[in-house]
Amino acid sequence: MRLIAILLMMLLSPGPVQAEDENVAKLRRQALAGGAWAQLNLGAAYDHGLSGLRADPAKAVRWYRKAAEQGLDKAQFNLAHCLATGHGTKQDYSESRTWMRRAAEQGMADAQFLLGVMLAEGLGGEADPVGAQSWLLQAQDGGNSDAADYLKNLP
């Protein structure tokens, strides 16, 4: 009887449980110890299903948030993007705008561009055409090629 139960478990199991990749395990330890870059990279691995991890947008958002709270601009940008699109979390333009501003204030041209768009369109708060233009000009100066095109169409 016990042999039948073991055979049934083997047949019904989804497959062998694989040990976590050594690099992922190291990254996870660093992230759990509070390493912001490790948290960002673990978030990206979950976001895109990299390094043998199954894509899990909700886990990605949790790791992005941990790194963002430590001031890492790329994590702030990724978290803002997830919040704006509802990827792995409830869509929240207001919170997205807050995180996008934090990344933009650190000089990240892509964040400056998207913050400018959010201000121009009134996403996450009132529209602010003057603020939008300012951020879009900074993004353009920082090398964001989309900013120039968007500026041409600002009223």
Alpha helices (runs of H) in the chain, residue ranges in sequence order = 2-12, 22-32, 36-48, 57-69, 73-85, 93-105, 109-121, 129-141, 145-152
Q: CB under 8 Å to 57, separation ≥6 — which residues?
A: 46, 47, 82, 87, 88, 89
Q: Has residue 149 got a pLDDT over 90?
A: yes
Closest among 115, 45, 67, 59 to 87, alpha carbons compared: 59
What's the rounded Cα separation, in Å, for the pair 106 and 2?
62
Judged against a pLDDT cut of 90, whether residue 16 lies above it is answered with: no
CA neighbours closer than 13 Å in the CB half-sphere of residue 42: 28
Whole-number percent of the chain with pLDDT over 70 = 87
Could you say which DSSP state residue 54 is in? P
- Band (pLDDT 50/70/90 cuts) for residue 104 is very high
Kindly tell me if the per-residue pLDDT of 5 is higher than 90.
no
Whether 1 shows a pLDDT value over 80: the answer reads no
Q: What is the pTM of this model?
A: 0.85
